[in-house]
A and B are shown apart, each in its own frame.
Chain A
Amino acid sequence: EVQLVESGGGLVQPGGSLRLSCAASGFTFRNYWMSWVRQAPGKRLEWVATVKTDGNEKYSVDSMKGRLTISRDNAKNLVYLQVNSLRADDTAVYYCARGFRPVDFWGRGTLVTVS
């Protein structure tokens, strides 16, 4: 069974940092691009970042460039999202997702509250 389990969310002060993790299981992790998507309260989903299978290609949205780093550890079946200089408008549920074009499976998300 495919599973994606996010962790690392919580309450953080403005200007702080968080590292979100996503533990993958039930599929051959190294064969899939992995992505992070977020949803702020009452807003539509927003793409955040994507990393290629081997970790050598990474893409992030312009609105967050310079503040985030996506990475992965294929030996541990983990994908990470490091977000720095957090702002109130970063408050959202952050979802880990398998794939890129297209995404075909989502985790349940981890809530990040910046306040």
Chain B
Amino acid sequence: EVLMTQSPATLSVSLGDRATLSCRASQNVTSDLLWFQQKPGLPPRLLIHGTSTRATNVPARFSASGSGTTFTLTISSLQSEDSAIYCCQQYNNWPPTFGQGTKVEI
């Protein structure tokens, strides 16, 4: 099973700041990596799939990159509504596995 490790656990930032979140896979997952946003009481919301493709209606301030085992999600110019937990997930190997999440506090 592929272990996904995210860092940092918590990121405290200010409005308008840039946030950089990391996700590492224990083995090569090629570009089969997605990011989603999770807020209390709401279902997860897909942000990025295929490592860097924004999902429908996701603002352009969300961008992502990486390949293989190292991936990054960047949120430029943080807005108040971006306060959430961000998780990565690989879907290259069975079973798909998730990171433990990075909490972004604004």
Residues of A within 8 A of B (CB): 4, 44-47, 59, 61, 95, 100-109
Contact = CB atoms under 8 A, between A and B. Distances in A.
Interface of B: 32, 34, 36, 42-46, 49-50, 55, 87, 89, 91, 94-101
B87 A101 contact: no
A45 B89 contact: yes
Q: Is the interface of A mostly helix, strand, loop or mixed?
A: strand
Contacts, number: 50
B86 to A, nearest CB: 13
B91 A44 contact: no
A59 B97 CA distance: 14
A61 B95 CA distance: 7
B43 A47 contact: no
Contact of A47 (B36, B44, B45, B95): B95
B46 A47 contact: no
B46 A44 contact: no
Given A47-B95, A108-B42, 10 more contacts: A4-B43, A44-B99, A45-B98, A47-B98, A61-B95, A102-B91, A103-B91, A104-B55, A106-B44, A106-B46
A24 B25 CA distance: 32
A45 B87 contact: yes
10 contacts: A45-B87, A61-B95, A95-B44, A101-B32, A102-B32, A103-B89, A104-B55, A105-B46, A106-B43, A106-B44
A112 B42 CA distance: 17
B98 A46 contact: yes
